[in-house]
Amino acid sequence: MIINIPAGLEAALIDLPLPAWKLDGSLLAKTTMERYRAELATATPRFEETVATLRHALTGEGGGYAVLRLGNLVKTLGTDDDRFLRLATGFAAEVAVPFSPFPRWPLWKDIGVKVDKDPGKSSGIGYNAFHMDLVNATLPPDFTTLLCIRPDHLGGGRSILTDAHAAVARLSEGTRALLSEPAYHYGTFFDLFGVGEEYKPFPVLDGSAPGEGFVRFTAKMLTRSPLGQAHADAARELDRELVRGQVSLMLQAGDYLMVNQRRYLHGREALHSRQEAVPVADRRLLLQLFLRAGASSGSAT
């Protein structure tokens, strides 16, 4: 769902200098969340209405992702200081609790473009297949969010999204049974906090009722982890259904994509060729922020 910010709300946000955030361990501090909520709700018209629409798009029936259009704000405020990021953080905190699972990164993690990286990685230039973030953690983030600072200068890199539970529902009972077995591996697990323990091996389907729970899938496990033939075939069948149901969209500067990881998987089409000709400072840049659902967040699950 695309959510445009009402003009009156945009004007009020431009003139609302939120204070710097504070962290409590890996989590955005409760005091910061309360301060942001109080200032946004009382100083800006139609904020509560916009937040209600955002929450419903992410957690309501049939929902699972949203794009909050903050383009006019980033154009006006720029990115030289944290004013724009504080506003984006304020919106995120109305959905769930922002946190960073990476001690070496601040609250927001840069995802730039590196031409010498594995093309399929988040910072690579190739196709980034469907996946959920931190798939091999016992407590993966409930939401993953991507804030577009600069789109691909050459016009590539569309974001792709797919309803994971709808894809699972199209599978045979036998395939779902195989996906429910702890036979899958992917990735490493180190220098992380706030996401539980390493889950290895893990099932793709966690035994929750149909339409609920995580669908622990990353297409990269098909080629980068040892799998028996039956389990590999089941995962490939799911991958085909995920692609079959995908939607794609081009993020523009200021677009804030939020994905409910309990419902949707995400990925990225390849960036345009000739990225090496684009100056590093002009290449596509996203900022990533993870969210943890909790009673203090005001979120609905």
pLDDT digits (tens, 9 = 90+) for 66-123: 999 999 999 999 888 899 999 999 999 999 999 999 988 889 999 988 888 888 888 8
What pLDDT is recorded for position 211?
Answer: 81
List the single range of 109-113, 238-242, 291-295 with lowest mean pLDDT. 291-295
Burial class (CB in 10 A: 0-12, 13-18, 19+), 170: middle
CA 238/CA 229 separation, integer angstroms:
14
CA 98/CA 167 separation, integer angstroms:
28
What pLDDT is recorded for position 301?
Answer: 37
- End-to-end alpha carbon distance in the chain: 17
Residue 73, sorted as left (phi over 0), alpha (psi -120 to 50) or beta, turns out to be alpha
pLDDT digits (tens, 9 = 90+) for 9-33: 999 999 898 999 999 989 999 999 9
Asked if the model's pLDDT at residue 237 lies above 60, the reply is yes
C-alpha separations of 27 from 30, 102, 131, 195, 256 in Å? 8, 11, 24, 12, 20
DSSP 79-91: SSSSHHHHHHHHH
What pLDDT is recorded for position 278?
Answer: 86
Q: What is the DSSP letter of 113?
A: -
CA 107/CA 289 separation, integer angstroms:
7
What pLDDT is recorded for position 272?
Answer: 86
Asked if the model's pLDDT at residue 296 lies above 60, the reply is no
Q: Which two tokens stand for residue 289?
A: 């922020």
Q: Which residue has the higher pLDDT, 212 or 32?
A: 32
pTM: 0.93
2-164+244-297: CATH homologous superfamily? Answer: Clavaminate synthase-like (3.60.130.10)
